[in-house]
Amino acid sequence: MINQAHDSQDITRILFQEFPTWMSVSFYIIGFTAIFVFLYGCYVQIRKYRHGVSFRKTVADITAGIKSMISAVLSHRTLRRRDTSAGIAHTHIFYGFALLFAGTSIITLEYDILYPLFGYKFWYGSFYLWFSLILDLAGIALIAGLIYMMYRRKWLALPKLDYTRPDRKPGEPDYDRMKYRREDWIFLWTLILIAVTGFLLEAVRLVWLQNDSTVWDYRWWSPVGTGIAYFFKALGMNPEAAADSRMILWWFHGILSLTFIAFIPWTKVKHIFTAMGSLALRDPMSVQRLPMADMEQEKIGYKHITDFSNKYLLHLDACTKCGRCHEACPANATDYPLSPRDFILTLRELANDKLESKSLAGEDELVAYGDEVNQVRIDTLWACRTCAACVEICPVGIEHVPMIVEMRRSLIEEGEMDPMLQNTLQAIHKTGNSFGDSKRKRPNWTKKLDFKIKNAGKEPVDVLWFVGDYASFDPRYQKVSQDFARILHECNVDFGILYEAEMTAGNDVRRVGEEGLYQHLAESNIATLEKCEFRKIVTTDPHSYNTIRNEYPGFGGKYEIQHASAMIKQMLDAGEIRLSGKLDYKVTYHDPCHLGRYNKGFDPPRDTIRKLGANLVEMERNRDNSFCCGAGGGRIWHADPVGQEKPSENRVREAGKIKDLDVMVVNCPKCMTMMEDAVKSTGHEKDFVVKELIELVAECMVFSDDKSHTSDETADTD
């Protein structure tokens, strides 16, 4: 590797070779200035975060978060999801930049610290040669990744990279976000120029020192620079011209690199650090288990930007504007005034404007929602379905939904809500259900059964069925409840329900932002359940399933709970459910957000469909990328604008693209309501029908009494 005629210490690169003293001193002055600007920028950002409310996290949580962050950063798994090309390109950029930065740091370590203080050198010989080769490859990877990113922004023109705002109209002061587009291009071009000038500098150095064998004999350890050097020589560049070019390139490359470092805290580049912090602090249960509010506090929720925790302020800076949340959002896809990305950017702009200065602005200027510049519009907050598609796909761990819910809590406190929603909340408070019906009517659906369901409040049962509002009161879904009761009865399951004692579980009440009512419902249901004797809970309602499973433990109610689809799958596997034959249907399955994305209940429903013999054809958006029906987050209690496409209609049209589809299978009471309405409004009534998974099981199941199942009967709602 090293010619025996050469001293290995001569196989190196001298940083300030043939520089006069004043040049070296000038470079250090510029360098220290850049470091000062960088450190001051970091201080300003930390000062901004300190204006937020401190959040608490255990050492175990932080340790687990850091491990998860390191894994995500090194593997780039969150960036490759649903955009493999961008993920691969970013991997090239990340590792290329990281290696080049590490290389520069290693040189600084020897040149400015180890050698002056301790006389220790290592940047020479074989180490230097391998170092040079690795950094050449890193530079190529960096440039390749950057060129692809330029290509996808300019020529692919992806809609998710269009910064047009759905929550503003042209002409409004903060409608135009071209500054972000300019920032993106400046970022890309700056990195390209740093990498390219590094290679050019390497090339002209080789031409300049071509007569020095300790340089030229080892030129191919810098393959990119060598290739460019041969090109320059072919153009007639001699050592004298190369020396002059080297001086110009050296200063241009050095000042550009130092400027880049100086402005890291002030620009998009800071996502290098904030994204890692955001991933480390991310709560993997942030949407399944919303933050608990202290109802004794004077103020509930987030009204001012200073009400946000410093963790959420960090989230705002972590956003890279990649548009994945924008693309996944059902509200945005159907032209409601919400883009999760723009929600985050609006709050970021408010935080930067009001919290980066030395003195804090007045309270009125810190309000986070309203119609002014850098405020989130109120109709934007109410457009959210809390489906968590944004949180689930965000590559840097931003928790949009909890922030939206916290802001809704403040709106609820102020009475800023749709009248229809207000009436529903009042009905829930009065009757314990969202239909506003008498509690006595809750078990009326059981009257059509030819057997009596146990009252779990009065006698022990093995399985307590938490029925839920829609499964109890909605005429269409009452038939599904009857089918499920017959399935459990046929399989000799010892089960019971709470009858009039059950109240709505409160999942959507909490996501609407009515925290006080939610806590009342949760505590009331827990008090009822504590009086019962049972082994586990089952429910057909994913919304009830989520909050009982993930949020009731915070109020002292920890129970084993299953969704009905998981229980049915177990009974099929155990042979407890006997099938009469196979279903000759072509079906597609719609994942409910609260069962699928929230609680990863993807496989049991699909396994059941296949066991029934149906031909399952997936929609393009499925599993964790499933498209919300539009009912979540209390939106089912809102009036939708006339003539505007609903998320459920968008979803039904997607199902309608499947040729010869017979059945769209749902697995949630709210999904059934939304999808059946959408089938009618989109004109697909003659193409396919909407059925619950439970209905398919009942249709294919052998019942000992040989009676047709109750889904063919009309439910009793009197």
Environment class of 712 (CB within 10 Å of its CB; exposed 0-12, middle 13-18, buried 19+): exposed
Residue 427: its H or E element: helix 419-431
Q: Does residue 581 sit in the same domain as residue 610?
A: yes
Q: Are strands 454-455 and 495-497 parallel, antiparallel or unpaired?
A: parallel
The yes-or-no verdict on residue 708 having pLDDT over 50 is no
Name, in order, each residue with C-beta under 8 angstroms of 703's C-beta and a sequence gap of 6 or more: 486, 490, 709
The yes-or-no verdict on residue 327 having pLDDT over 50 is yes
| Amino acid found at 247 | M
> How many other C-beta atoms can be found within 10 angstroms of the C-beta atom of residue 355?
22
Q: Does residue 400 sit in the same domain as residue 480?
A: no
Q: Does residue 480 sit in the same domain as residue 409?
A: no
Q: Does residue 131 sit in the same domain as residue 205?
A: yes
Q: Are strands 663-666 and 463-465 parallel, antiparallel or unpaired?
A: unpaired
| 606 touches 567 (CB < 8 A) | no
Range of the structural domain that residue 365 is part of: 285-416
CATH number at residue 205: 1.20.950
Q: Does residue 653 sit in the same domain as residue 629?
A: yes
- Specify if 35 maps to a domain: no
Q: Does residue 445 sit in the same domain as residue 408?
A: no
Q: Whole-angstrom Cα distance, residue 625 to residue 328?
A: 8
CATH number at residue 342: 1.10.1060
- Specify if 21 maps to a domain: no
The yes-or-no verdict on residue 482 having pLDDT over 50 is yes
Q: Whole-angstrom Cα distance, residue 83 to residue 78?
A: 10
Q: Does residue 603 sit in the same domain as residue 633?
A: yes
Q: Does residue 430 sit in the same domain as residue 526?
A: yes
Query: 3-class SS at 592?
Result: coil
- Specify if 539 maps to a domain: yes
pLDDT category at 359 given cuts 50, 70, 90 is: confident
Domain boundary (252, 277, 302) is at: 277
> How many other C-beta atoms can be found within 10 angstroms of the C-beta atom of residue 527?
13
Query: Which pLDDT belongs to residue 62?
Result: 87
**Count of domains in the chain?**
3
The DSSP code sequence of 83-102 is: -HHHHHHHHHHHHHHHHHHH
- Specify if 174 maps to a domain: no
| 12 touches 212 (CB < 8 A) | no
Residue 464: its H or E element: strand 463-465
- Specify if 342 maps to a domain: yes
Q: Please report the beta strands in 329-456, taking only residues with DSSP state E, as ranges in sequence order.
A: 454-455
- Specify if 493 maps to a domain: yes
Backbone angles phi, psi at 632, to 5 degrees: -70, 170
**In the predicted model, what is the mean pLDDT of the chain?**
94
The yes-or-no verdict on residue 717 having pLDDT over 80 is no
The token pair that represents 34 in the structure block = 């850049």
Q: What is the DSSP letter of 197?
A: H
Q: Does residue 273 sit in the same domain as residue 305?
A: no
> How many other C-beta atoms can be found within 10 angstroms of the C-beta atom of residue 203?
27
Q: Does residue 527 sit in the same domain as residue 507?
A: yes
Query: Which pLDDT belongs to residue 706?
Result: 53
pLDDT in tens, 427-447: 999 999 999 999 999 999 999
Q: Whole-angstrom Cα distance, residue 254 to residue 198?
A: 9
pLDDT category at 716 given cuts 50, 70, 90 is: very low
Q: Does residue 396 sit in the same domain as residue 425?
A: no
**Helix 647-656 vs helix 669-681: crossing angle, to nearest 10:** 70
Look up the pTM and report it.
0.93
Average pLDDT over residues 374-389: 97
| 634 touches 509 (CB < 8 A) | yes
- Specify if 79 maps to a domain: yes
Domain boundary (396, 416, 436) is at: 416
Q: Does residue 248 sit in the same domain as residue 343?
A: no
- Specify if 352 maps to a domain: yes
Domain boundary (277, 303, 319) is at: 277
